[in-house]
Chain A
Amino acid sequence: AQSVSQHNHHVILSEAASLELGCNYSYGGTVNLFWYVQYPGQHLQLLLKYFSGDPLVKGIKGFEAEFIKSKFSFNLRKPSVQWSDTAEYFCAVSYGGSQGNLIFGKGTKLSVKP
């Protein structure tokens, strides 16, 4: 079955530390890849997405993600986190253009210490 794995359940960092959240997906042909963020008390928001083209994707708030096809990975990165980045981050994959039927990872909670 197709699946998405997020390796870390909870990550705790100090401000200005660099961030990398892992995401791996199972093989299934053509994929669209997403990272969503949910800030405390708020709804899910799209952070960035990869459909095709440049595998290094820039998102909002200084986040980026790199699609590495050979590793089935789409890791999220930020060079210097801020306290306001405290949130839960979800990786998601859709296969073969299946509209909206995303498979989500279990989420990674990020806590940034001021």
Chain B
Amino acid sequence: DVKVTQSSRYLVKRTGEKVFLECVQDMDHENMFWYRQDPGLGLRLIYFSYDVKMKEKGDIPEGYSVSREKKERFSLILESASTNQTSMYLCAIPTADGGREKLFFGSGTQLSVL
């Protein structure tokens, strides 16, 4: 199974700070995804990347950007953090299983913006 590592389990930041969330995978997969998880809203796709330097907006990209300079690392960037970005952030890697995909998730980063 692929290993998905998110560098921080908990982060506390102040409004206006620039925030970097890191995700690293260990198996050379092209596709990587960033979701946020909020109570009552479930999981929502922020951005995804299908190769180095390639990115696509998901359903809620506003206020976020991403960086994929190396295949194994996919960073989510909050240029100027706001309180409504307090959330659990999950990185995910899709893998093939009998020709179809399933997702492996990292442990998540709980971000609190004060």
A residues whose Cβ falls under 8 Å from a Cβ of B: 6, 9, 32, 34, 36, 42-46, 49, 51, 90, 92, 94, 97, 99-102, 104-107
Contact = CB atoms under 8 A, between A and B. Distances in A.
Contacts of B101: 32, 94, 97, 99-100
Nearest to A50: B100
A88 B90 CA distance: 15
Contacts of A46: 102-103
A49 B58 CA distance: 23
Interface residues of B, number: 25
14 contacts: A6-B42, A9-B40, A36-B105, A42-B107, A43-B90, A44-B90, A49-B97, A90-B42, A97-B101, A99-B31, A102-B45, A106-B40, A107-B40, A107-B43
B96 to A, nearest CB: 8
A43 B94 contact: no
Interface string B42-56: 111100100000000
Contacts of A101: 33, 45, 48
Interface string B4-43: 0000000000000000000000000001010100001111
A49 B35 CA distance: 20
B90 to A, nearest CB: 7
A90 to B, nearest CB: 6
A44 B105 CA distance: 6
A68 to B, nearest CB: 19
